[in-house]
Every structure is written in C-alpha cells, then in structure tokens.
C-alpha cells in the first residue's frame, strides 16, 4: 500500500474519531458537573438596586426670584358708531365687565328713500307739471348693535341715550383685560 492510501484509510478516520471523542467527553462533563463554584459566586445576578438612605431633618426651604419690570394694561379701545343714527339703547353701564362680542349699544338708523311719483299720465308718455304729484316715502328704520371688540371693562361713555351720532363717532372706551 502506498503511503497516501494509508493516510486516507487509517490516519484521517482515527484523527476524526479522536477529535469527536474529546468534544463529546468535554460536553458531557460540562453538562453534568458545571463550572467552578468559586467563579459562580462572583457572577450571581440579583437584580436588586441598593437602597439609598437619607436622614430626615428639619430645615427651611427658600426659593426667591427677583424680577424688575412694569406691568401695564393694554390701551383702551374706542367704541365707534357703525352708522349715522340715534343711540336708543344701552345694554351696559360704565364699569360693567363684558366679553368679546357682547352688545353695548343699539343705534337706530332711519334711511329716507327718494320720493315716488303717484300720478301717471294716461299715455305713459310725457307728464305735465299738474299731473306730477310726489309723495314722501316712509323712512326705512334699521337697528345696528355696537359690540365689544375684546373682553374687558366698559369705561366712561361719551354719549347718552337719544343722542344723535354720525358714523365713526366715539361712543365710549373699553379697557381690555390683557397686559
């Protein structure tokens, strides 16, 4: 037999058998005997956090903050008349607190429409001066509310009930609650 054949036929199978046997013996010994017990004590996980202790005592807690500055209210807002007319109702008095959108005044506005012709000629053509007769039309009355533009306190009023106002006239002041 050649040397190569002996190596393949006897040496390799015996070396594989010895390597497998060593691995099997080490796995069996590790499974049934475990590792060194001295090393196990050092690596024992407890999952506990050591408790921190603090002694209780009586003391005064001080927390101060010093800031310099001035607190100012927002500027008072002017309440203006939305139309020409007569102030006929006041829903609030000076000093009352109102919310945004609350009614403060009501203004009665009368709009005079143009005069209408009542007599017409029979032929719908030209009209003579005698046949033309104009009657005044009835005034159209509308009511307009003056509403609060912000939440705040109603200030001094510049008008009284039944006063005539023009569009944009200052009716009073409203002091907002903002700083």
User: CATH assignment of 77-176?
Assistant: 2.40.50.100
10 Å CB burial of residue 105 (0-12, 13-18, 19+) is buried
* Residue 139 near residue 112, CB atoms below 8 Å: yes
Measured distance CA(114)–CA(135) in Å, rounded? 10
Measured distance CA(179)–CA(169) in Å, rounded? 27
Question: Using one digit for the tens of pLDDT, what is the confidence trace for 49-61?
Answer: 778 888 888 989 8
Per-residue pLDDT of the chain (179 residues; tens, 9 = 90+): 688 888 889 999 999 999 999 999 999 988 887 666 655 556 666 777 778 888 888 989 889 999 898 888 888 889 899 999 999 989 999 999 999 999 999 999 988 877 665 545 445 555 555 555 666 778 888 999 999 989 999 988 888 888 899 999 898 999 998 87
And the tokens for 5?
């054949």
């Amino acid at each position: 037999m050649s040397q190569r054949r002996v190596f393949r036929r006897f040496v390799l199978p015996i070396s594989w058998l010895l390597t497998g046997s060593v691995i099997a013996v080490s796995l069996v010994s590790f499974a049934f005997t475990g590792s060194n017990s001295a090393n196990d004590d050092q690596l024992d996980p407890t999952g506990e956090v050591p408790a921190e202790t603090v002694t209780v005592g009586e003391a005064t807690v001080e927390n101060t903050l010093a800031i310099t500055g001035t607190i100012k209210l927002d500027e008072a807002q002017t309440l203006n008349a939305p139309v020409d007319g007569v102030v006929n109702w006041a829903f609030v008095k000076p000093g009352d607190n109102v919310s945004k959108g609350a009614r403060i005044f009501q203004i009665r506005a009368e709009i005079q429409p143009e005069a209408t012709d009542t007599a017409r000629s029979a032929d719908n053509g030209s009209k003579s001066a005698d046949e033309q007769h104009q009657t005044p039309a009835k005034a159209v009355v509308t009511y307009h509310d003056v509403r609060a533009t912000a939440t705040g306190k109603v200030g001094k009023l510049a008008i009284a009930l039944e006063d005539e106002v023009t569009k944009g006239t200052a009716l009073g002041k409203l002091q907002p609650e903002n700083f």
